[in-house]
Amino acid sequence: MVRRPALLRIPALPRPPLPGPPAVLQTLPERFTSRLHDERTAAWLGMALGASFLTAFATGLVSHFLQHPPGWAQWPSRPVNLYRVTQGVHVIGGLATVPLLLAKLWTVYPKLLRWPPVRSAVHGGRRLLALVLVGGALFQLVTGVLNISYWYPFPFFFTTAHYWTAYLLVGALLIHVADEWPKVRRTVMTRPEDAVGRRAFLLTVAAASGTVALTTVGEAFSPLARLALLAPRRPGVGPQGLPVNKSAAGAGVAAAAREAGWRLTVTGRVEREVTLSLAQLRALPQRTARLPIACVEGWSAEATWEGVRLRDVLRLAGVADGARVRVESLERGGLYRTSDVAPPHWRDPLTLLALGVNGAPLDLDHGFPCRLIAPNRPGVMQTKWVHRLVVS
Amino acid sequence: MKARIAVAAVGLVLVAVGVRGIVLHVDVSGWAVWFVGAAVLHDGVLVPLVLAAGLLTRRLPGPYRGVVRGALVAAGCVSAIALPLVLGYGRRADVPSRLPLPYGRNLVVVLGAIAAAAVLAATFRLLRERGVGVERAGRGVRLRRRPRPGPEGGVRR
């Protein structure tokens, strides 16, 4: 329920002859007669929204620091599906947040139209905070939705803008939570006796979120793949039953990857440099691992990979236990031409230099002749078309 | 109180970190257009459309109003999220497994399912309303809980 500020209820006061705003502007908030525009609805939606955004922030940070690890961080290679889950929660949860945010903004919309726009310095500060919250939340959801659709109509680089805006949004969110805490506590803890149909409204919003989740979650949770009518990916669709993010042609490696002279070189801080042909790699002990490709865009799909253990190849060359390995692709450039493999990952027996997937040699688009596949790691770091391992 | 001040202080630090990162690493003018533009388009276009839908559905009979509005909320959210997929600007000829589905048709299927659920819910309500007519005396408390529909719309039950 939005009440007109008491100040405005004294029309008889003699006022300076300045032309005041039209009466319609001063009474706009009162024209919203739905009783769902009230504190209690806003509080419940706000709590759900706060939990959603904090979850997205945490899972987003996981994904960010996996790809840009600070010196002290040691990301484990197990559980195998951890990144798959955190990033799935980030993206599917983010999509399901859209109805929550829209409902919350609708609930508090009359506050936008209050007159006068700014009553005091504190009130002005709150309104600025609201702009940061509204702009930031919409910015994150809009850019996120566009990014997973591979549509980049904005003039900035998605990951950088999405990353830094997250700090701004969550910072504003924490200030907002601290500011509204007593109000939320009071309104949620008291039993309303006003017969406003909040429950039906909140259930409707939950149903909308549920519909969004249900029609997209199958891109990560393959038992529901057939329900993923509105997901940008579908497990099972792609060469060898596996989606592809970057094709060999798109990466400009189609010719180089098929060359008979392809060799895998292990170099850097090794006891002896090793060069292996594809036939020599196939002659090493072959292992099988059931591992997912878990993309930063939220989709993931499991496959059965065959190849040699990365640690077997590295031990052929003789490397220290604490060594770090840079895996290099045949690609000439691009952000993801190389990836770093820290000890927990290269020592893991599940980490393979895969030569085949799902019972056949790798498709060119899956990284033929040789690709990295490791547990609990973003898809962009499962380097394809590998030709060099540089140990440091 | 101390905890609230601490939370607000952490928030201020994060805001500062975010602003610094945006200024240093992002094209600020383009970013600002999208940041403020999103809020302006939401407040100036999307919400007025929702309010108009609330007005248009105001005259529906009580039992159906909430169902129709609920279906519109779900359908609107699903459509907004599916729009970039339906437009399909992200498709690439060399990566057919990217956006592989007929999203226009799929959106129609999902909207159809929402409509079907709404029809079911409305039928259920109709039947229940008829039943309530008989046992009205015994359920007076429940009936009193029904909110009054307002002129702006948005009251649902």
> Mean of the pLDDT values across residues A371-387?
97
All residues at 6 or more sequence positions from A368 whose CB lies less than 8 Å from its CB, including other chains: A248, A257, A258, A361, A362, A385
Helix axes A158-189, A121-148, angle to 10 degrees: 130
Residues 69-108 of B with CB under 8 A from A: 69-70, 73-74, 77-78, 80-82, 84-85, 87, 89-92, 94-101, 103, 106-107
pLDDT at B132: 67
Whole-prediction pTM: 0.91
3-class secondary structure per residue, B55-111: HHCCCCCHHHHHHHHHHHHHHHHHHHHHHHHHHCCCCCCCCCCCCCCCHHHHHHHHH
Q: Cis omega (within 30 of 0) on the bond before A182? A: no
pLDDT at B139: 45
Q: How many residues does chain A have?
A: 392
pLDDT at B151: 45
Same domain flag for A298 and A202? no
Among A132, A153, A195, whose Cβ lies nearest the Cβ of B144? A195
* pLDDT one-digit tens code per residue, A117-134: 999 999 999 999 999 999
Q: What's the CATH code of the domain at A361? A: 3.90.420.10
Among B82, B87, B156, whose Cβ lies nearest the Cβ of A200? B156
Same domain flag for A205 and A267? no
Number of H helices, E strands in chain A: 11, 10
Same domain flag for A54 and A181? yes
pLDDT at A362: 98
* pLDDT one-digit tens code per residue, A192-235: 888 888 999 999 999 999 999 999 999 999 999 999 999 999 99
Alpha-carbon torsion A301, A55, B99, A365, what sign? negative
Same domain flag for A23 and A160? yes
Q: How many separate domains does chain A show?
A: 2
What tokens appear for A195 in the block? 């017969």
Same domain flag for A177 and A253? no
* CA A58 – CA B77 distance, rounded (Å): 25
* pLDDT one-digit tens code per residue, A10-32: 445 555 555 667 788 888 888 88
Q: Say which range, A99-108, B13-22, B120-129, has the weakest mean pLDDT.
A: B120-129
pLDDT at B140: 43
Q: Give the residue numbers spanning the domain of A273.
A: 246-391
ipTM at complex level:
0.90
In a domain, A225, yes or no: no
Same domain flag for A182 and A280? no
All residues at 6 or more sequence positions from A17 whose CB lies less than 8 Å from its CB, including other chains: none
pLDDT at A19: 63
For chain B, the structural domain boundaries read 1-56, 62-157
Are the beta carbons of B152 and A196 separated by less than 8 Å?
no
Instruction: Tell which wins on pLDDT, B156 or B51.
Output: B51
Q: Which residues of B touch A197 (CB under 8 A)?
A: 66, 145-147, 155-157
Residue A389 contacts residue A270 (beta carbons within 8 Å) = no
Are the beta carbons of A134 and B15 separated by less than 8 Å?
no
What's the Cα-to-Cα distance from A278 to each of A75, A381, B142, rounded to whole Å?
31, 22, 75
Nearest-neighbour CA in chain B from A115: distance (Å): 16
Are the beta carbons of A207 and B89 separated by less than 8 Å?
no
